[in-house]
Amino acid sequence: MTLPYVLTLVAARDATTLSRSVVEEARALVSGAEPVELSPGEAVDIPCPPLPDPVSGAFSGAEHTLPRIRERFSAQHVDVLLTRSRGRRKGLLVADMDSTIVQNETLDDLAARAGLGERVSAITARSMNGEIAFDRALRERVALLRGLDVSALDETWAETRLAPGARTLVATMRAHNATAALVSGGFTFFTERVAAACGFDSHHANRLLIEESRLTGAVEEPILDRAAKLDTLRALAAERRLQIGATLAVGDGANDLDMLSAAGLGIAFHAKPVVAAQARNRIDHADLRALLFAQGYRAADFRE
C-alpha cells in the first residue's frame, strides 16, 4: 500500500553531503519506509504514514512534525520538504523572478545606477517583509527613478545572474509536459530576457513608462501585485484545464504569499522571514533543483 506522504531531504551541494545517518534519523522521526535515492549524496524521498500530532496526540497529517524536523537538520544545510504521495508532479510552474529565478533584485540594482541604491533597497525590504503594500512601494520606488536614461536598464541586465538550478528547473518540467510562467512584480524589460534565458512559456510583470529614452517615474497601471500574482496562477491553471492542486508556485517575498498558499505545492525559496514563517514548505539551503526533488524527480530525469 502506498504511504500517504513523502518526506524529501535535499542537501545544499556546495556545503554538505547528505549522509546515511541523517537519512536514517529522519526516517526514524517519521516512521518512514525504505528511502528512495533521488540523487546520490544530495536528495532522498522517505515515504511516511500519518503521524500523531506532537501536541495533542491526535492522529493527523505528517506536516505537524515538519517544523521540528526542519529545525533538526537546518544546521547541517539540509532542507526538508513534505508532500502528499499522490499527484506530486505538477503541470504548471509559476515562479517569482527577483531573488528567486535570478539572484538579483533588479529594481534595487537599477536604482543603484541612479545613486539611490540604499534608499530604494530599504523600501524594497519593507515591502518584501509585508510592512507596506506592494503597489504603494513600487510606485514610490519608480518615482525616484524619474529621468534615468534607459541605458541603465541594459547595464543592469548585463549584471543580472540566474539562480543556480533555474534553467534545469524550467527545462525539466517543460520536458515532462508542464507549463512554466514567470510572474513578477518587477518589470517586463527583465522578465522578457529572463524568460528567454530559462525557457519559460510566458512572462508577466509591470511595464515601465519611458519617454524620449528616459524613465518617466511611473509604471503602467494596473500594477501586478500580490493579488494579481494569485489571479495569474488561477488563470494559467484554468487555461491548461488543471486543478489548482496540480500547480507549483515559488517565491521569496510577501507579495508571493497568496499564490504560495493557493498552489498545490507552494515553496518559499530563501525567503524573507515573514514568508518563511508562513510557508508550509520552504528551501533555505539548496538551489532550485530542490523543487524538482520535491516532485519526486530523480537527477537522472533532469534536463539542462
Can 45 be counted among the known catalytic residues? no
Cα(135)–Cα(106) distance, rounded to whole angstroms?
Answer: 16
Active-site annotation holder among 45, 79, 96, 287: 96
C-beta of residue 165 within 8 angstroms of C-beta of residue 304: no
Active-site annotation holder among 98, 109, 225, 252: 98
Cα(262)–Cα(282) distance, rounded to whole angstroms?
Answer: 15
Q: What is the 3-state secondary structure (H, E, C) of 168-191?
A: HHHHHHHHCCCEEEEEEEEEHHHH
Can 98 be counted among the known catalytic residues? yes
- Return the number of other C-beta atoms located less than 10 Å from residue 220's C-beta: 12
Pairing of strands 43-48, 5-11: antiparallel
Task: Give, as one character, the DSSP assignment of residue 94.
Answer: E
Catalytically annotated residues: 96, 98
